[in-house]
Amino acid sequence: MISELNVLAVVPARGGSKGIPLKNLREVGGRPLVARVGDVIRKVHEIDRAVVSTDHPGIAQVANEAGIDSPFLRPEGISGDTIGDIDVLTHALAATETVDRRQYDIVVMLQPTSPLRTPRQVSATIRMLVEGGWDSVWTVSPTDPKAHPLKQLTVGEGRSLGYYDPRGAEVVARQQLAPLYHRNGIAYAMTRACLVEQHTIKGRRAGALIIDGEHVSIDSEWDIALVEWLLARRAAEQVA
């Protein structure tokens, strides 16, 4: 709880991932990804309740063992590849409020695919939401200039090369590029009104918590290998 507001953490973890089968159960640093979220949640004192939204009993069991409750299974209708976060979160909020017979004022989405998050980052996201009166706060990271939209290219028929944005032809130095940011998946916090009344996870007043450093959102085997390397490096630095 923070400022007399009840905080619900929702961990979306369906079982049907295709790039990495049962990705949310994959072990990284010796712990399943969904369990690593529970390890973080236990240290975030602002969170009153944590639930997993999954369609897979095995994921639900591992989440339970890590301290994340599973008071419901996600319906098939919101378990597909093209289902948005808004549908998953509004369902989880309504289902949990029905089971708990209480209302939650803030919802925090914590995806298992960002295993390098820290409790401090999650707490800071929640505090920024409340203290700034935002509808939502997303954590973001600075985007490497090499990935800037004005530096992206297209390859057309016959391997013809073109600019994704014609303005890219005018860029001769990275200093010309305005700073951009991308969502890093560490945390999304939003008010109940943002979800239920505005029916969005962003809202009319959205704030950005900028987080520097190394963050990986897992989509591929390469991402897993990178996270394993980063965790091993951190462990070695702590020993040294």
If 0-12 CB within 10 Å is exposed, 13-18 middle and 19+ buried, where does residue 239 land? exposed
Lookup: tokens for 11: 């961990």
The H or E element containing residue 138 is: strand 136-142
What pTM was computed for the model? Answer: 0.93
The predicted pLDDT at position 22 comes to 92
Find all residues with CB under 8 Å of 78, minimum gap 6, and list them: 87, 88, 91
Of the options 3.30.930.10, 3.60.15.10, 3.90.550.10, 3.40.50.300, the CATH number for the domain spanning 7-142+180-239: 3.90.550.10
* DSSP 8-state secondary structure symbol assigned to residue 105: S
For residues 133 and 35, is the Cβ–Cβ distance under 8 A? no
First to last CA, the chain: 37
Instruction: Provide the percentage of residues in the chain whose pLDDT is more than 90.
Output: 85
Residue where the block lists tokens 């095995």: 58
Q: What is the residue extent of each domain of the chain?
A: 7-142+180-239, 144-178
Find all residues with CB under 8 Å of 116, minimum gap 6, and list them: 214, 215, 216, 227, 230, 231
Backbone angles phi, psi at 127, to 5 degrees: -65, -40
Helix, strand, coil % over all residues of the chain, rounded to 5: 40, 20, 40
The predicted pLDDT at position 181 comes to 95
Query: ∠ at Cα 187 (111, 28), nearest 5°?
Result: 45
Q: pLDDT tens digits for 79-113?
A: 877 789 999 999 999 999 999 999 999 999 999 99
The predicted pLDDT at position 136 comes to 98
